[in-house]
Structures are given as C-alpha cells and as structure tokens.
Structure 1
C-alpha cells in the first residue's frame, strides 16, 4: 500500500464578528468613559460592532489611531489636517471629510452595514461620506451653549444640518425636543440612565468623609455658572451653617465665587468615576442645585439616578426634566424651600422602604433598560444589523 501523507493543518481564516457597524462621532473622548455616549456604545455592542470616533483636538494631527477598547468596541483618534476646526467652518468641513475618508477605508476591510451616529454637531459634514445605511442624531446637549457667542452660529448650523439629515433623532431629556430645530420626524426621548450595579448600597466609603460634620449634602458635578446655582447653595449654607455641603467636581472661578468664605461648603477636585460610589455612600442627601431658566435647564442629570441607586434621598431644583420625572425626589426653587426639602429628606433618609423605593426607580432607569429601548428603535429603523 502506498504510504499516506498527513494532510497539513490549515489555520482558519479570521472571521469578523457578526453584526453591522455603528460609527459614533462623539463630542466626548472615549477615554473619559463615564458619559451617556459611552454607556450607549456599550449597549450597542451587544449585537453590533461600534467604532467610537473621538472629537478632533484644536491642533493639527496627521495620524489616525485605532484601538480596541472592549469586545466589539474600537475607538479612533481621527486625523485633523488643519488646526482650529471648531472655530473655522471651512477647516472643520475639510477635517471631517478627511477623517470620514480614512474611516471608510478602514471599514471597507471589515464588512457590515453601517449606521452613522452623531452626538457632536460639528461632525455633521461627515454625513453621507461613510456609505451609511441610516443616520442617528443623539441630542445629548445643545453644543452651542458651551461656546462663545461669536461661534454659536457655527455650531447651530451644524445642529440644523445633523437634525435635517437624521433618520432618527434622539433626545436625552424630555425638555430637549422643543429646543431642537424642526426635523422630518419628531425626536424620541431616550433619557439618561445609570448603572445600579456600580452604585450599590454595599461597599466602601471614602474614609475622610467620616470626619465631616453631619448631615452631609453631596453633589458630584461641575461648579460653574452655566448649570450650577452657587447663589442658591450659598444662601442655604448660610441658613444652615451646621450642614456640610460637599461639592466634588471641576469648578470655575465665577462658579466658586458666591461660596467664598463659607466654612461649611467643601469643594474638592474631580475624582475618577470609579470613586464616585464611595463618596456618595458617605453622604446623607444628594442635591442637584441647577439654575432654572438658564442655558442648560434642558438637561436630564444622570446623577439623579445615581443618587437614587445609592438609596439616597434627592433634593433638586425644578428644572423641566426633573419636574416631569415620576420619581421620589423633592423639588425646591428657593433657599427656604430647599432647607425645608432637605429637612424632610433627612427624616426618611434611612427608612428601608424608602431606600428600596429609590433603588427600584434607578433599576427601572438603568442603562440596560435604555439599551433595550434603543435596540427597539434601531430595529424599527432597519439599519446596521
């Protein structure tokens, strides 16, 4: 019998993961990792592949860097051939076209239908340049409110273009749709959420919080003049000097100014998102003292759900999204009302039935619930599957 030769082993060709692509042009870099864009990207990665595109910097950058961030998620530092695109519309268009061309070549080597997702208004020029099957515009903020007056027209033009081209417009707050340009289809509210598995009742407490005079009223967020009402906080702090106001986050000089000289107001620098639960566990009440009627009173602060997930009572000013929210929170517009609301909150702070009720609201508004809602909307769109 002739000798038989073993069949040489062959290495199987690499197989791309199933599912279409969602290309997210975001106004927030991936490395920040703790915002709505990142939470929804992780939800989308359940049955799709996600290419998360960081916003370009102010300077020129001729390199394109693609890194895998997680299973089925890649993030990109895109090229910007000229600087100052945020301020100069022709430069912004050129940079976005170049970035789209580079990303399209990368995607052409990885088959799958493409859904273009935009939450940064200045990314509107990329629409139509990625061979996308559909476009989603996610209104997380009104970008023009973050810019100087001289540049707002540029950002508002991008907002109009993105809304006009979108097959689906999402809004992070029930107060946002009326502030958006007219779209061919009504905006769908997909509110912010939280991660109750991260903000749990059990776990460590930041040690230095144990030495603060109680009660401790905690706030995690920016101390500025756009959203934060420092005048209200200062007035409440003067009415109740025995209370400690713990403000953790970035701050501006103008935002801090009304709080100067108040010994019961403690300001701390931003902390990593992973440290937030340990800080909240050491607080007695979570507060959201936002300006009502200001530039950003359309927001739906996800910190509300994070406070509730920790079982903490919440006292907030009646910004539209919170005023319409079906949740066990207390609303107060003036300093005396805020004092009374906090006093009511402290009475029920540790009651097990109230803690469970707050926690249940957070569970109903988790990012996983939002992910289910989002997948239903995209299935109806019939794209990127």
Structure 2
C-alpha cells in the first residue's frame, strides 16, 4: 500500500492520544512516517533525526527536523530549510505516491512537492481557538479543506461546524484502548471500588506492572480517600477556579492533578493541602494512578478553546471502571451523557461529585452497565478500521496536481527572529 506521511503539531512522545493511537494501528497495514515540528538548533546545519517508535508490535518512523530558524511549528519562515530536507529524506526512503495526513493546516505548503496520491486532514481540535495560534491558521485551514480528499473531525461539534464544507467529511470521535485502562488492583492505599479485578495491560510484563504500581504508590499512596483525579494537559482549557473551589469546599477530599502544564504560568495553579500536582506521567503509568482514584474529574472551563473539544480521557476514565464528573462540555454531553455526571457551575459540579461518591450500590451497578456499553462502542481498533475503509475509497492514482501552497515560500536568513511561543499548538 501507499506509505502514509503524517505532519503533526503534537510530538510523538508528548501526551499519548489520537495521532499515536491511530498511526500505531495503521502502520500494521502500511509504512507510516510521522513528521514532527522543527526544533531550533542554530549551531549546526539543518538536519533530520530519525527514530522508530514501537507500539502494539508495529513501528512508526518518527522524523524530527532541526533547523536554525527561530520560528514556531511549521511556520512559513521554516519552509526554505524544511522543504529540501524533507525532499531528500523521503527520497532516501523511496517514498513514492504517498498518502499525506495533516494534523495541522500550517503544514500544507510542505506537501506540494511530495506528489501525494491523496490528502487527508484529521481535524482533532479547533486549533485557531488555542492560545498563541498562528494568525494565518484559519486561512490555511480553508485552503486545506479545499484541497483535501478526506476530512475527519474529532467530535460532533467539530463535524457540525464543518458540515457541508467538504464532500468527503466524516465524524471520527476519539476512542479508547480498553485493555490498557482495564481496572487493575491498586497499589497500597488504592481505590476501594467494589468489583475491581486485577488485569495486566497487554503490553506490560508482570515486572513492569509491579514497577508502575510501586511508582503510583510513591506518588499518591499516602493520600486518604476519597481521591478525585484528573489526567491530561493542563492549559488555558482548565478551570483553575473550579479546581480551587472543589478543594476548598471539601477539604477531606484529596484531589490529584496529573499532566504537563503548558502555555500557562505554573504559579497560577491553585495550591491547597488537599490538592496535589503530579506533573506529566507516562501513558503506561496512567492506569495505575487511575486505579487508586474514587472519582475522575473533567474540570474544563467553558470558553472558546473548549467549545469544540471532545476529550479522549472521558472513555479512558470509563474504561478504568471509574465514575466521571465533567463540566458542561458539549461533546461530552452528546456522546457520553448517559454515563457521565455533568456540573453546570461550581456548586453543581461539587454536588455531582457528592452524588457519585455516595450513590447506592444499585445506582453504581446501573452506571457500570452504561459505562461498559459506551466503552465497547468506542475503541481505537474500531476507529482505525473505519479509517481503513475511508482510505480504501480514495483515488487509486496520484492526484492530477499537487495542492497549491497557500503562501509563497519566503526568502529568509538562516536565523529568523523568534515569533510566538514555540509550544503554541503542541498541547492542543
């Protein structure tokens, strides 16, 4: 099959989410080359580093460009350095007639010389609404929508906002790997949910499981119950005032926040005796932290940056056998409203947490059935099979002409002045 060339604003070793899940499955059928945003290195000539990332018995090749251009992401100022690099490296790999998959419209000018058989746009977020988004992102997305052969949307809200704008548009909500998050026996001091069973993830040996469980115990084993937890990126989408209000309203509850802090000042994070910030943890570590929680939180702010989000963590929490309380995120309500409690303001959020923590065994049993049904219908294996079907329907020959770049290739000095923050979109 044609190789798949992926341009991503998220690095492979950042939070393990939609790009990694889909590509690690699609590489079972075809070669996948995952191209990250450039990294600044003004001390050496432009180059590309390569490594292989093995997931689920398959491997994805990850290419990381290094350039002397101090511009963020796939900025137009990067084009003079990036284009010859990519052309050379892909030619060395005998890449012919590829499918090209974009997670960011900013990479569109890079693909004109690749001769793609087809162009796929996976719109996983409304990137233009994120802090530090490039000014030309909306215009670049319009050009990408006009050029793409297939457009995927990461949730119902994104799909509805683009419905009618492309003839081959599909809604592909984020999903879950149930085996990875299946309930595990918690480390010492862990969760007390009745009916939890010991289950190793399919990629871990017994020794690895023991190490991860011990690490979870180091991080949170000293905390009393109930424990309420969150994992994911912590950025402008997080309602920090709500997190603080929750900690203040219930000082006997222990709140655990896991994830990298991006695009916001760490000094802005609320600090309370019953609020613990654990920073970024590995994807393998998350189920072992989750096992020790009594309730999972999605305390998102309701603003422009969350208007179209469809959080992957919803299904991951449910697959881990934990009840969930969320703010009124539109896609959470439409996709998972039958299995997730919703708090529409701070008082309602706290009341929903109260209701879940102290619900009857009969209500918890009913919730388990609803949650299991939601998880079964939303696995990454099913999502990848849907993608395979759409890819099979794409043209069998190369497109008549490569899509035009939406901006001329600028002539810039080797070291362009810095613009917006280099992490502008990596936490999307």
With the length of structure 2 as denominator, give the TM-score of the two structures: 0.76
Count of residues in correspondence between the two structures: 360
Distance 1:374 1:126 in 2: 23
Residue 247 (structure 1) shift: 0.8
Per-residue Cα deviation, 1:252-304 (whole angstroms, up to 9, x for no partner): 665663623x2222222211111111100000001101011332331111111
Residue 320 (structure 1) shift: 1.3
Distance 1:96 1:64, change over 3 A: closer
Uncovered stretches (5+) of structure 2, i.e. residues with no partner: 188-215, 399-428
Which has the higher relative contact order, 1 or 2, with Cα contacts under 8 A spaced 6 or more apart? 2
Distance 1:33 1:291 in 2: 20
Distance 1:197 1:370 in 2: 15
Uncovered stretches (5+) of structure 1, i.e. residues with no partner: 1-18
Q: Counterpart in 1 of 2:342?
A: 331
Question: What SS does structure 2 have at the residue aligned with 1:362?
Answer: helix
Residue 194 (structure 1) shift: 1.4
Q: Counterpart in 2 of 1:27?
A: 9
Residue 78 (structure 1) shift: 3.1
Q: Counterpart in 2 of 1:221?
A: 232
Residue 248 (structure 1) shift: 1.3
Distance 1:30 1:319 in 2: 27
Residue 123 (structure 1) shift: 0.9
Per-residue Cα deviation, 1:169-213 (whole angstroms, up to 9, x for no partner): 111121123555984336321111111111111244322434312
Distance 1:236 1:323 in 2: 21
Question: What SS does structure 2 have at the residue aligned with 1:153?
Answer: coil
Question: Which segment is superposed worse, 32-41 or 247-256?
Answer: 247-256
Residue 348 (structure 1) shift: 4.4
5 Å-filtered alignment, 1:99-138, equals: 99-107=85-93, 109=94, 113-138=97-122
Q: Counterpart in 2 of 1:359?
A: 372
Structure with greater Cα Rg: 1
Residue 37 (structure 1) shift: 0.7
| Residue of structure 2 aligned with 1:53, choices 35, 42, 55 | 35
Question: What SS does structure 1 have at the residue aligned with 2:352?
Answer: helix
5 Å-filtered alignment, 1:1-385, equals: 19-32=1-14, 34-59=16-41, 62-70=46-54, 71=58, 73-78=60-65, 80=67, 82-86=68-72, 90-107=76-93, 109=94, 113-148=97-132, 152-179=134-161, 183-185=165-167, 187-205=169-187, 206-208=216-218, 209-224=220-235, 226-251=236-261, 254=265, 257=268, 259-260=270-271, 262-326=272-336, 327-348=338-359, 351-352=364-365, 354-382=367-395
Per-residue Cα deviation, 1:318-364 (whole angstroms, up to 9, x for no partner): 11111211441111111221122112212348745533542342232
Q: RMSD across aligned C-alpha pairs, in angstroms?
A: 2.7
The question of whether the paired residues in 2 share the 8 Å contact of 1:305 and 1:362 is answered with: yes
The question of whether the paired residues in 2 share the 8 Å contact of 1:348 and 1:354 is answered with: no
The question of whether the paired residues in 2 share the 8 Å contact of 1:313 and 1:349 is answered with: no
Residue 40 (structure 1) shift: 0.7
Distance 1:86 1:159, change over 3 A: farther
Distance 1:203 1:45, change over 3 A: farther
